[in-house]
């Protein structure tokens, strides 16, 4: 199938002798792609270019036609895939779509992924875009990740693939895969840091008001958000109260009294609906609150007090046990995207 040539680019500004060439970033959009999978990484590279990074961004589709994303937003693309005579490609980005997880690929997508991958320095997927990389044969025998809801499906469909269900993004050689939707922003920031250094990546993160590096893995996302809402009214009220004020007295005795239940009955309900004990749930919420405070520059002492964890030493032991790092090391992670 002949591929149309991209339109001529605008006349570039004069280039100083010996200046490095721009890195060409190609986002391969297609029918049904998730909008944020496309626009999130492009915002990162666009901000990086505006702040001095050497990037040129291209939005393409397999056949050069405009595409309609999963949200119904219509995206006009630059053209079809760049032809072989075009400037060398640096990075190819493949967004995700729900259909990909079901083994349904838009016409021409897998061929386009293979072609672009053969001409680029590195290939990256966002969310379920990993299914397109795997379907194109790029991930055989590799490590990868995808949206937490689909990691088991990806592993079952591609047995030679080692799937990390808890990673925000995974690098295996020149191949990068990222977790659900907004993790594409995390990955793009890491790519900018690798290209241009942590200084520019930090400026981009500040410009977009996002974490330089998101804390933890996919399992570190909001405790209330990833806990199914219990059917039991009293338990629902307790979970809301814990989330609203982590530092309050949430001992088993106090919680049971508020719910009008015995401590034993309350423990059974927690185990049934949250998969953990009352104390375990409270600890997880407090840890999450502590992560947020530390990331925003709060001291360890104030963080321990404001979250109900208690002392600096208790905070330190909790971080080591649950995250494998000290509070100070955790705070330092926000200075770089490197994991």
CB 126 within 8 A of CB 96: yes
The H or E element spanning position 161 is: none
Contacts for 326 with CB less than 8 Å, ≥ 6 apart: 316, 319, 320
Tell which wins on pLDDT, 21 or 158. 158
Strand runs (DSSP E) across the chain, as ranges? 23-28, 55-60, 67-68, 74-75, 89-94, 120-125, 143-144, 162-163, 169-172, 175-178
**Confidence band for 263, pLDDT divided at 50, 70 and 90:** very high
Please check the confidence at residue 12 and state whether its pLDDT lies above 50.
no
Which one, of 302, 267, 294, lies nearest residue 282 by Cα? 267
Average pLDDT of the segment spanning 270-298? 87
Which one, of 9, 2, 37, 5, lies nearest residue 24 by Cα? 9
Please check the confidence at residue 219 and state whether its pLDDT lies above 60.
no
The pLDDT assigned to 216 comes to 52
**Confidence band for 10, pLDDT divided at 50, 70 and 90:** very low
Question: Where along the chain do the CATH 3.40.50.880 domains lie?
Answer: 23-215
Q: Which two tokens stand for residue 238?
A: 């307790």
Class of domain 222-335: mainly alpha
The pLDDT tens digits of the residues spanning 227-248 come to 666 778 888 889 888 888 888 9
CATH number of 23-215: 3.40.50.880
Q: Which of 92, 117, 127, 294 is catalytic?
A: 127
The pLDDT assigned to 106 comes to 96
Question: Where along the chain do the CATH 1.10.10.60 domains lie?
Answer: 222-335
Contacts for 123 with CB less than 8 Å, ≥ 6 apart: 91, 92, 94, 113, 116, 117, 133, 138, 174, 175, 176
127 tagged catalytic: yes
CA pair distance 94, 114, nearest whole angstrom: 11
CA distances from 291 to 51, 276, 326 (A): 29, 20, 11
User: Mean pLDDT of all residues in the chain?
Assistant: 86
What is the model's pTM? Answer: 0.65
Q: How far is CA 235 from the centre of its chain?
A: 31
Q: Residue 92 — φ and ψ, nearest 5°?
A: -110, 130
CB 92 within 8 A of CB 117: yes
The pLDDT tens digits of the residues spanning 171-196 come to 999 999 998 878 899 899 999 999 99
The pLDDT assigned to 85 comes to 56
CB 144 within 8 A of CB 161: yes
Lowest average pLDDT, out of 46-60, 103-117, 258-272, 320-334, goes to 320-334
């Amino acid at each position: 199938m002949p591929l149309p040539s991209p339109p001529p680019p605008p006349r570039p500004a004069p280039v100083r002798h010996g200046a490095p060439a721009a890195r060409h970033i190609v986002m391969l959009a297609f029918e049904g792609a998730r909008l944020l999978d496309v626009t999130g990484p492009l915002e990162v590279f666009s901000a990086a270019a505006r702040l001095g990074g050497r990037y040129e961004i291209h939005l393409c589709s397999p056949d050069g036609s405009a595409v309609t994303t999963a949200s119904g937003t219509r995206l006009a693309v630059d053209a079809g895939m760049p032809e072989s005579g075009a400037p060398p490609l640096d990075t190819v980005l493949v967004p995700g779509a729900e259909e990909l997880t079901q083994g349904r690929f838009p016409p021409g997508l897998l061929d386009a992924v293979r072609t672009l991958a053969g001409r680029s320095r590195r290939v990256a997927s966002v969310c379920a875009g990993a299914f397109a990389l795997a379907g194109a044969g790029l991930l055989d025998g590799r490590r990868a990740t995808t949206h937490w809801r689909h990691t088991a499906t990806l592993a079952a469909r591609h047995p030679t693939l080692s799937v990390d269900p808890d990673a925000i993004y995974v690098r295996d050689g020149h191949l990068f895969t990222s977790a659900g939707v907004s993790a594409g922003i995390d990955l793009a920031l890491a790519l900018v840091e690798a290209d241009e250094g942590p200084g520019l990546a930090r400026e981009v993160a500040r410009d977009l008001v996002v974490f330089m590096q998101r804390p933890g893995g996919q399992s570190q996302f909001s405790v209330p958000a990833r806990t199914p809402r219990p059917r039991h009214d009293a338990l629902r009220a307790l979970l809301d109260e814990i989330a609203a004020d982590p530092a309050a007295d949430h001992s088993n005795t106090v919680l049971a009294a508020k719910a009008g239940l015995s401590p034993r009955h309350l423990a059974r309900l927690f185990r049934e609906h949250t998969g953990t004990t009352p104390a375990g749930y409270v600890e997880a919420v407090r840890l999450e609150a502590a992560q947020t405070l530390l990331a925003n520059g709060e001291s360890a002492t104030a963080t321990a007090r404001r979250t109900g964890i208690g002392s600096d030493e208790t905070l330190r032991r909790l971080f080591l046990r649950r995250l494998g790092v000290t509070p100070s090391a955790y705070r330092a992670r926000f200075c770089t995207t490197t994991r």
